Structure 1
């Protein structure tokens, strides 16, 4: 059984962090910035990038799609709002906090033996595993056992399509999901005007359902890309 997965994350508000944490995060840019304007630009980039680390960010959406049944679920955060679960285009959208998302993800993962992601080894899986440990949740599958498919074990094959399509980095320019979708004639979730860079802003604006729908679009594109890879490039 095959499960496609994807996450969305946001970073902490830098200005609310304690002084020690702020100093630890800005130590390197203080050394590298040549002047005050450059420091301010680097600080802005740092603040916008806090969602890329499980140490300074949190998961606000986890989407899963059963590749065989073509049925999916997106668990998404909607703090301070009486949001309701809903269904749309083959997906069920369920409001959850981060801990609930992780418990549900790993609970469902037990039923699958093949996991498909796009850039999951470098981002999604480490984030999922570290945030799970933070909440005292033990992952039910080891999705980081080995980068190479032929060496993976423990009843969980993790196919990172970015690894596979670039032949483990042999292809010089890796490209993002939008570029790979475009090359294969697949509808990109970015065609709606939303990209991963917009997630933090949308979250602050309380547009939680839009983030959840964007996540579902990523899952659909990843599924179609997986089908192309499996048909023509899997040996």
Structure 2
């Protein structure tokens, strides 16, 4: 039961990803061919790999993480806060800094990771990029040999399905129907690459990523029938 999980044992997270190179032409010839093969069934008729490359950030083989935001609840008596922080910089640094957070503060058996569509996207992407960079996996992300009920992950999209596996429910839609402020009031995932490479505005991406983390926490509160966070309860840690 969700109500039996202590909120301060949950680490909420979200990642923002972009194509590993700014343009298709920056890839070596072999990688271009591999991207062509990987995406041949996703591209529309007549659409070239070059034209499709702006979507490369959704694959860990051709994308990279430019921002990882994490949040967690703290309680002091009756006072509740939600602390959210972000890791930016070069990708290996982002992954190492996140590993340090997990290993130092969220590595015990009672700790759980939570995201929206995270089992399908965020968690696998994180693990694959760690493997690519030769970074040891934290136990919470190393699922080898674990049974499904031993995996310490929560996914708000999966929770919303209630066993129905026929459809995808976006974070924007779920926040709308649950009466939660939308995290998509500025940019959405399809625009992150442009903001990163063209506008070079990482702060805008951080704000967007942190809003997603807060929204996931709010959704979980709604599932538990608890009061939503108010602005004064949210602390942005630099």
TM-score (norm 1): 0.78
The answer (yes or no) to whether the contact 2:116–2:157 under 8 Å persists in 1 is: yes
Distance, in Å, in 2 between the alignment partners of 1:162 and 1:26 is 30
The superposition leaves residues 129-151 of structure 1 with CA deviations (integer Å, 9 ceiling, x where unpaired) of 111112211121233639x9971
Choose the corresponding residue for 2:125, options 117, 124, 127.
127
Kindly provide the CA deviation profile for residues 57-106 of structure 1, in whole angstroms up to 9, marking residues without a partner as x. Answer: 11000000013341111112xxxxxxxxxxxxxxxxxxx32111111111
Matched, 1:201 2:185: no
> Does 2:23 match 1:25?
no
CA 1:42/1:225 → structure 2, altered by over 3 Å: closer, same or farther?
Answer: farther
Which residue of structure 1 lines up, in the alignment, with residue 45 of structure 2?
38
Residue 160 of structure 1 pairs with residue 155 of structure 2: yes
| Corresponding residue number in structure 1 for 2:235 | none
Of 39, 60, 67, which residue of structure 2 is paired with 1:54? Answer: 60
Q: CA deviation at 1:203?
A: 0.4
Structure 1's 197 and 29: CA in aligned 2 closer, same or farther, altered over 3 A?
closer
Look up the match of 1:105: 98
Note the aligned Cα RMSD (angstroms).
2.6
CA–CA distance in structure 1, aligned partners of residues 136 and 170 of structure 2: 30
Q: Assess, with a 3 A threshold, how the Cα gap between structure 1 residues 30 and 229 changes in structure 2: closer, same or farther.
A: closer
How far apart are residue 24 of structure 1 and its match? 2.2
The answer on whether the counterparts of 1:5 and 1:115 sit within 8 Å (CA) in structure 2 is yes
Q: Secondary structure at the match of 2:168?
A: coil
- Structure 2 matches for 1:1-235, cutoff 5 A? 1-11=9-19, 12=21, 13-27=23-37, 38-39=45-46, 41-43=47-49, 46-68=52-74, 69-76=81-88, 96-110=89-103, 111-112=105-106, 113-143=111-141, 145=143, 151-153=149-151, 157-168=152-163, 170=164, 172-191=166-185, 193-204=186-197, 205-231=199-225
1:224 Cα deviation from its structure 2 partner: 0.1
Identify which of structures 1 and 2 has the higher relative contact order when contacts are C-alpha pairs closer than 8 Å and 6+ apart. 2
Structure 1 unaligned segments of length 5 or more: list them.
77-95
Query: How many residues are aligned here?
Result: 203
Going from structure 1 to structure 2, the CA distance change for 1:29 and 1:207 (only over 3 Å counts) comes to closer
2:141 counterpart SS class: coil
What's the TM-score once normalised by structure 2's chain length?
Answer: 0.77
Q: Which residue of 2 aligns with 1:86?
A: none
Structure 1 residues 177-210: Cα deviation after superposition (integer angstroms, max 9, x where no partner): 000000100011112x311111001001101100
Residue 19 of structure 1, CA deviation: 1.5
